[in-house]
Amino acid sequence: MLPFSLTRCDPIQILLIRKSTDIRMSLLPLCVSSTSASASQEGIAIIGFGYVGTVLAVFLAERGYDVLAIDNQAKIIEEIKAGKPHLKEPNVEDSLAKFVRSEKLKIDTSYKGIQNSDVIIVTVGTPLGGHYSADLTALESCIEAICPYLCKGQLLILKSTLPPGTTRNVVAPILKRHGIKPGSDIFLSFCPERLAEGNAMNEMKELPVVVSGIDEESALRAESFWKRVGLETIPVKSLEAAELTKLADNVWIDVNVALSNELARVCESVGVDAMDVIRAANSLPKGPGKVNFLTPGVGVGGSCLTKDPWFLVDFAKSKQVQLELPQVARRVNDHVPAFIVNLIESELKKKNCVPRDTRVAVLGYAFKGSTSDTRNSPAKEIISKLSSRGFTVSVYDPWVQEEVIIRETDINPSSSTDDCLRSASAILVLADHPEFKNLEVISNSKALKSAIVFDGWHIFDPRSIVELGFDYFSPGAFQRRAD
């Protein structure tokens, strides 16, 4: 691959051009020069400084790039500048503070600086909108907002998760309306982000990048960029193939978890340990891999698995294709919190615990371990259902800001595990944060002697919990009772 050599745009030229979009294409500032620049001299702008944008920005700064991160929420930018990180993710916070201090990573609310960038990467949110279709408002407004500052020769990479056809039929037309021809004025690529929170930095460094472009040159330039960054690439034949790849990954995960959750329920009904079954079942070679049941859990949360299957269902529907499986999986996974609440309630009833006199302690409010992200967290629904059935619920999560828990649950969070577990009749581990993985969290607690432990993430050895005198439950309803 030839090196992609770049110079910067001339803002004055941009101002002249903006007066007439008709002549825009011919006058668009030139970003490609004949002089070669080393990879780390390339400037990168990232639009959207949430979970994905932040991890990507820190990763690229670590790789030596000058990064400009832009977010339209002034509060986020101000907080980071004041040294208050807006999210928690392993190996991100300290580096973020360091790079912001050294200005290797600049953060701003203005899009103006992208005219000095060679590569622009979009990571704005694409949440679920009405009727189970994608809400592309942030994407559209972001593309509109950057258009006045785009320069000839820049590479625009979309990383946000998009319904198939969005890059071609939504993004490209906006660019064209602004007189910018994707594929000749700028290069347009879609490379979905596939990292998982909690291990995002490692995945950012290790996952191969799926690459596509609006034309061959755009795809080649994007591929070349990710290779310079040091990442493996997986080129696919079209934008739509890349958009579908991302959705396919997440549908596979959601359907697989749903299957495990259903297997867990049948195992529960016959007193069999689902984890035992899954360990054995997963030993069967099949195709290029093996049978691979994921682990049954507390339900599926986060911002991606809960929406991406709907993007696929909605897109298929628009093509007169009715998809059943992703919808069923969504329903199965959405029902898990209710099953858990029913289980806890019935077990507490067996112990003659009356809800109004009973404390249930929840360890972990984030949707999974090692993240501050609470979007669609199953814990939210479990807490709400337990509260509405009259239980007193205490919550502790060292990864989530107190104000978030108060805002979302109306509960003042506990200040420590000890504080949370005091006098509890049930202990529910709903996020597998490292802080909870020590048996002493339970053994040293002042929970009631007759308490039950619901280990939502299978972090404890059931025997150890039972030896402490507690009844043990986990998804797959592997029950062990302290006699």
Ligand X SMILES: NC(=O)c1ccc[n+]([C@@H]2O[C@H](COP(=O)([O-])OP(=O)(O)OC[C@H]3O[C@@H](n4cnc5c(N)ncnc54)[C@H](O)[C@@H]3O)[C@@H](O)[C@H]2O)c1
Shortest distance, position 126 Cβ to ligand X, whole Å: 4
Of 120-128, 284-292, 331-339, 475-483, which segment contacts ligand X by CB under 6 A? 120-128
The count of chain residues that interact with ligand X, using the rule CB under 6 A, is: 28
Q: Output 172 or 466, the one with its CB closest to ligand X.
A: 172
**Does the annotation mark 304 as catalytic?**
yes
Shortest distance, position 311 Cβ to ligand X, whole Å: 9
Of 60-68, 141-149, 342-350, 439-447, which segment contacts ligand X by CB under 6 A? 141-149
Q: Output 197 or 268, the one with its CB closest to ligand X.
A: 197
Q: 9, 147, 191, 304: which is the annotated catalytic residue? A: 304
**Chain position whose Cβ is nearest to ligand X:** 50
Shortest distance, position 255 Cβ to ligand X, whole Å: 18
347 binds ligand X (CB under 6 A): no
145 binds ligand X (CB under 6 A): yes
Selected binder of ligand X within 92, 124, 393, 466 (CB under 6 A): 124
Residue 440 buriedness (CB in 10 A; 0-12 / 13-18 / 19+): exposed
Selected binder of ligand X within 31, 92, 136, 138 (CB under 6 A): 138
Shortest distance, position 467 Cβ to ligand X, whole Å: 37
49 binds ligand X (CB under 6 A): yes
Shortest distance, position 367 Cβ to ligand X, whole Å: 10
Of 70-78, 171-179, 348-356, 416-424, which segment contacts ligand X by CB under 6 A? 70-78
Selected binder of ligand X within 29, 48, 85, 378 (CB under 6 A): 48
43 binds ligand X (CB under 6 A): no
Shortest distance, position 397 Cβ to ligand X, whole Å: 18
243 binds ligand X (CB under 6 A): no
Selected binder of ligand X within 126, 166, 358, 374 (CB under 6 A): 126
Q: Output 40 or 137, the one with its CB closest to ligand X.
A: 137
Using CB under 6 A, which residues numbered 165 to 204 contact ligand X? 193-195, 197
Residue 367 buriedness (CB in 10 A; 0-12 / 13-18 / 19+): buried
Instruction: Give Rg (Cα) of the chain.
Output: 25
Integer angstrom CA distances of residue 265 from 103, 149, 354, 419, 453: 52, 55, 26, 33, 18
Residue 254 buriedness (CB in 10 A; 0-12 / 13-18 / 19+): buried
Shortest distance, position 344 Cβ to ligand X, whole Å: 29
Q: Output 252 or 339, the one with its CB closest to ligand X.
A: 252
**Does the annotation mark 19 as catalytic?**
no
The structure tokens listed for 117 are: 């960038």
Of 49-57, 96-104, 219-227, 235-243, which segment contacts ligand X by CB under 6 A? 49-57
315 binds ligand X (CB under 6 A): no
254 binds ligand X (CB under 6 A): no
> In angstroms, rounded to a whole number, what is the distance separating the alpha carbons of residues 427 and 423?
10
Could you count the other beta carbons within 10 Å of the beta carbon of residue 74? 10
Selected binder of ligand X within 189, 303, 372, 414 (CB under 6 A): 303
Shortest distance, position 160 Cβ to ligand X, whole Å: 3
Q: 88, 104, 159, 246: which is the annotated catalytic residue? A: 246
Q: Output 142 or 451, the one with its CB closest to ligand X.
A: 142
> In angstroms, rounded to a whole number, what is the distance separating the alpha carbons of residues 127 and 4?
34
Q: Output 104 or 194, the one with its CB closest to ligand X.
A: 194
Selected binder of ligand X within 123, 154, 394, 445 (CB under 6 A): 123
Shortest distance, position 217 Cβ to ligand X, whole Å: 25
141 binds ligand X (CB under 6 A): yes
- Kindly list the catalytic residues: 246, 304
Binding site for ligand X (CB under 6 A): 47-53, 70-73, 76, 123-126, 138, 141-142, 145, 160-161, 193-195, 197, 303-304
